[in-house]
A and B are shown apart, each in its own frame.
Chain A
């Protein structure tokens, strides 16, 4: 009788250990899966944030205040009319809260080490144009654009487009 009870107890113990081992095994697998999923979620969130920021930059670059429209022959994508933006800069106080951004800057892609800000006087021999500057520290986002202007040579007008970065910054809401 005692022998049989002992045997049964041993069996129950074996079963209990087995169940505990299986539970621990599945818990470890679940933990691994959750951590894997969470890491990919964070990546997705970062990607989505980047996408949103870039969409905002693109939306702004394509807005009527900046875009080339059809002034340079046909509809151009990611094209900024530099002549238009220079005029806009003079009236920028009217737009200070219009786009919900703190700073807007257009920086030409060139190998110049100089940092000459564009004005009506030195234009187009300059490196960057700060369209809106509210001196607010925030996150910077940029996209590549084509900055176009009308040039003239001996009375003949032609289009001149250059590669540039359209940079904007805004206060990030966490």
Chain B
């Protein structure tokens, strides 16, 4: 009886050691994995947003040669302004952004980039958003730019 008890105690001790080691490994793994999944900032996307915001469009709202850049066009779209050539600013913004993003980040099932999300908010209110392709993938890179009241955000899925 005594011998049986001793053997049981040994078994319980061994099981405890294994459980403790397994828990330590699990904690270590979750910390490591969490660190890697947070790394989504991309210099390439950041430079894209900086350059994109400066792109001159073919829309002006005040005088004929005062063409708006993307950043100003988003602000004008918030106020539902109309361009000098009678096109709505939001329509120009939509077509210009689609063309620029699709030519810069070609997405598709057989391409390295599978999808993207573009989002802009003015004073906290969403002004314009655009997305294409598969935007549910875990691997992605993104960046945001802040211009006083305007925030633009872009994320590419691969």
Contact = CB atoms under 8 A, between A and B. Distances in A.
Interface in A23-60: 25, 29, 33, 36, 40, 43, 47, 50-51, 54-55, 58
Contacts, number: 74
A152 to B, nearest CB: 9
Contacts of B21: 25, 29
Nearest to B25: A29
B56 A161 contact: yes
Contacts of B69: 161
Contacts of B18: 25
A156 B64 CA distance: 10
The dominant DSSP class at the B interface is helix
B16 interface: no
A160 B56 contact: yes
Contacts of B43: 50-51, 54-55, 58, 143
A144 B66 contact: no
Contacts of A54: 43-44, 47
- How large, as a class, is the contact surface on chain B? 20 to 34
B87 interface: no
A58 B65 CA distance: 31
A110 interface: yes
A102 interface: no
- How large, as a class, is the contact surface on chain A? 20 to 34
B99 A111 contact: yes
A25 B48 CA distance: 49
B51 interface: yes
Given A36-B32, A54-B44, A58-B47, 16 more contacts: A29-B25, A33-B25, A55-B43, A76-B54, A78-B50, A78-B54, A111-B99, A144-B44, A146-B50, A146-B55, A153-B64, A158-B66, A161-B55, A162-B55, A163-B51, A164-B51
A110 B55 contact: no
Given A78-B51, A143-B47, A163-B52, A40 B66 contact: no
A39 B32 CA distance: 12
A145 B47 contact: yes
B82 to A, nearest CB: 20
A79 B32 contact: no
B43 to A, nearest CB: 5
Given A158-B67, A160-B56, A161-B56, A109 B47 contact: no
A145 B51 contact: yes
Nearest to B58: A160
B30 interface: no
Nearest to B35: A40
Interface string A100-112: 0000000001110
A78 B47 contact: yes
Contacts of A163: 51-52, 55, 100, 104
Given A29-B21, A29-B25, A161-B54, A110 B103 contact: yes
Top 8 A-B pairs, shortest CB-CB distance: A146-B54, A144-B48, A144-B51, A146-B51, A158-B65, A144-B47, A78-B50, A143-B47
